[in-house]
Amino acid sequence: MVKTAILFFLTALAEITGCFLPWLWLKKGMSAWLLLPAAASLALFVWLLTLHPAASGRVYAAYGGVYVLTALIWLRVVEGVRLNVWDWTGALVAFCGMLIMVAGWGKA
């Protein structure tokens, strides 16, 4: 389960990076050259999703829980936004949902 969670976190980082770089270009007026690493990051994201052993729908559902937590960590670390107890509580609930789903993989 730890390996799956780490893989999900790497997947989420690739997706967030791939979406954040075009956002910088469109909203902050940064270079369009950011689209190249963004595309590579999104390709990495898709490839990482294929490394999971479960059916794609289960992977996407469980991944959502890790994505929520990773996006909030990104918001705090990269964008400097202070998070509140509601943010962290919601992320914890979503992450626990992922753990519950992954625990059932192979049992269905």
pTM of the shown model: 0.85
**Termini Cα distance of the chain:** 16
Token duo for residue 39: 């595309």
**22-74 pLDDT per residue, tens:** 999 999 999 999 999 999 999 999 999 889 877 788 888 888 999 999 999 99
| Alpha helices in the chain, H assignment, sequence order | 2-28, 35-49, 56-77, 85-103
Mean pLDDT of 84-99: 95
**CB neighbours of 98 closer than 8 A, spacing ≥ 6?**
5, 8, 62, 63, 64, 65, 66
